[in-house]
Chain A
Amino acid sequence: MSQDAEEKAPSIRAVRLSKWYGRVTALQDVSLHLEPGVWGLLGPNGSGKTTFLRLVAGQMRPSLGDVRVCGLRPFGNVDALRRIGLCPEADAMYDDLSALEFVTSMAELSGYSRKESRERAEAALDAFGLKKAMERRVGGYSRGMRQRAKLAQAVVHEPDVLLLDEPLTGTDPTSRAVILEQLAKRAAAGAVVLFSTHVLHEVEALTDRVLLIARGQVVAQGRVHEIRDLLEEHPHHVQVVVDRPRELATAVLGEPGVLGVRFPAAHTVEFETREPDRTYAAIAKKAVEGKFHITSLTSPDATLEALFHYLVERSGRMAGTGADAASGSATPYTGQNLAAPGKATAGAKTSSKEARR
């Protein structure tokens, strides 16, 4: 692929991107590069997710830094805006319009003729399961149907970059299934799908590629398990429900990597370990040798939830200490040092670990 074609390929690229409103910093020094696929933008309320999406959608001008969509600066750029589809979080549809009228209007604004816009609107609404209801007024729609209509307007012009702000909020299982299917399909077809959420299982339903954002900074980027691998200091927890927890604890405590043990419930023992694989193996071995009766063996931090909280806390601890390297933006973007898709970064730790390697 030529350099020109590569630059114009579906992508989102941010270089030291910052945005502040007066004295409030909404986004700080974010550098990243997203290629086709589904990306989850994960962070608590007020973390800067929507600001980042709006910057990428060309609705705001960066205070500092640069953002490119398909190689183009999005703000006020017609060519870029036609390649972007945005589904805002706000439930901002006119109740007296039908979904077809609304989506047709949005298609027309993307540069299609009225006839073409209507055909596209029908196809988009059909794809999101609203074929029978498209002539009905949006005011009579359920929350899930409204969400699907919003998504239909975002994809009606077949954008290369799809930005979705909390797309699954308030959706019923049917709507959720339709939405997830459509997003996955578009990502597989070569689009960049970036969706924000603060509900972790929504991310896991679609992708394991995430950007974790907290306090306006990207605290990690990459695949969940890779991020975990990089975070050596992040202790893993293995919880075992067993008939004789204290005896099992005594047997396993001496194994390499096991840092500590606690007993959260009567028949439960929780190990803290730096080497979860070895610890799992040791527990299994000791269980057989000691004839322990194990009811369950789980890792409370196996989900994204634990990782997210850990990273946010870590970011908080390091904020204001001159350790801004805790963010994913610690190393300026150079084109080489930024994580490629699927390659996780997690701030200072990433840099030091890469250096050791």
Chain B
Amino acid sequence: MSVRDLGYRAYEGPRLPASHNTWVMIRHSLRRAWASWLVKLPIFFCLGTTIVLGIWYFAATVFAAQSGSGETFDAAPLVRNLVTAQMWLFLPFITLGAGAGAIAQDAVHRAFQFYFAKPVTPIQYLIGRVSAVAFFSSLVLLIPGILLILITVSYGAPTDEVRLERAGYLLPLLLSTVVLSVVMASVSVGLSSLAKSRALTMSSWILLLVVPHVIAGAISLIAETDWVFFASMPGLLDVVVDALFKSTRDPEAHLEWWHAAPVLAALTGGSLYLAHWRLTRAEVIT
């Protein structure tokens, strides 16, 4: 007797390949992430920085026009500062709400048994979790950034050359967004695999973001060296973003993007490896 004999609905259609589960996991993780207010609020308020910087830009442009100096306002630092502002104001909340507690929560509820009873690999699971955090992080960086660039292009640009130059900020904005989103999403999700306590992993994430940066800032003031920012993930990200926007830096600064980039790459790779190892060894998938 087969399963169909007693009236079960036979499925005649094709089954999607197992690789399709990557997209399913991404969609599922996006829904999970969106459920958190720590994600919703930054998305709703992320345009606040654009409004503030936009007003400041209008005022500066009007002031420059009235003073009759004839100098063109340099909009690059404005967009660059927007990235930094978004990184400190909103990304911590998104990574906290969607990343830093993600695996810990699943571990507490032992939700892995549901996922891995299906044809889902730990890598697909991780891609889903990291992508969700990276997606929402990208939103709070990219949308306000694009709007600000549009403002600077459409208002106060005296020549087409200047407009084109300002439109060109889209590329560093895009690259900065990718770097910041991927690094912060990977590290926060990796950290969330270290313990089963969501409170512990989330507070560790905040400490990891803030404490080394504050200490490094204090030491750099006293010792007048920027090497200590090696210990600060936001500090390293700042260096890379500076390089992408070709920002003018302190001539005394020693830390360059080629110092920071390998460390950030190692941090990202290490976090993902750690999360994968924890999933496969410490949990059910062995």
**Which A residues form the contact surface with B (CB < 8 A)?**
10, 36, 54, 57-61, 76, 78, 81-82, 84-86, 88, 90-94, 96-97, 101, 105-106, 108-113, 116, 123, 153-154, 158, 160, 185-186, 188-191
Contacts and interface: CB of A to CB of B under 8 A. Distances in A.
A84 B20 CA distance: 19
Contacts of A90: 109-111, 113
A153 B11 CA distance: 16
Interface in B2-53: 2-6, 8-9, 11, 13, 15-18, 20-21, 24-25, 28, 31-32, 35
Nearest to A59: B284
A160 to B, nearest CB: 7
A57 B286 CA distance: 12
A81 B119 contact: yes
B3 A110 contact: no
A108 B285 CA distance: 21
Given A105-B28, A109-B24, A110-B119, A60 B114 contact: no
B286 A60 contact: yes
B163 to A, nearest CB: 43
Contacts, number: 109
Residue of A36, A92, A188 most packed against chain B (CB within 10 A): A92
B117 interface: yes
Given A88-B110, A93-B111, A189-B1, 15 more contacts: A54-B284, A59-B116, A60-B285, A92-B110, A92-B113, A92-B114, A97-B31, A101-B31, A109-B21, A109-B115, A110-B118, A111-B17, A112-B11, A154-B117, A189-B8
Contacts of A108: 21, 24
Contact of A189 (B6, B11, B35, B120): B6
Majority secondary structure of chain A interface residues (helix, strand, loop or mixed) = loop
A139 to B, nearest CB: 11
B16 A185 contact: no
* Residue with the highest number of chain B CB atoms closer than 10 Å, among A54, A58, A110: A110
Contacts of A93: 109, 111
16 contacts: A54-B284, A60-B284, A61-B286, A93-B109, A94-B111, A96-B35, A109-B24, A109-B118, A111-B20, A112-B11, A113-B13, A113-B16, A116-B13, A123-B9, A190-B1, A190-B6
Nearest to B20: A111
Nearest to A163: B117
Contacts of A189: 1-6, 8
Contact of B3 (A84, A86, A105, A191): A191
Contacts of B21: 108-109, 111
Given A105-B24, A109-B119, A111-B15, A92 B111 contact: yes
B284 A153 contact: no
Interface of B: 1-6, 8-9, 11, 13, 15-18, 20-21, 24-25, 28, 31-32, 35, 106, 109-111, 113-121, 284-286
Nearest to B32: A94
A86 B5 contact: no
A122 B15 CA distance: 19
A106 B120 CA distance: 10
Given A61-B286, A189-B3, A189-B6, A111 B117 contact: no
Contact of B117 (A84, A97, A190): A84
Nearest to B15: A111
A81 B32 contact: no
A265 B28 CA distance: 62
Closest 8 CB pairs of A and B: A111-B15, A90-B110, A86-B117, A109-B118, A88-B113, A92-B109, A189-B6, A78-B119
Q: Which of B35, B113, B115 has the most CB of A within 10 A?
A: B113
Nearest to A165: B113
Contacts of A153: 114
B118 A81 contact: yes
Contacts of A105: 24, 28
A255 to B, nearest CB: 46
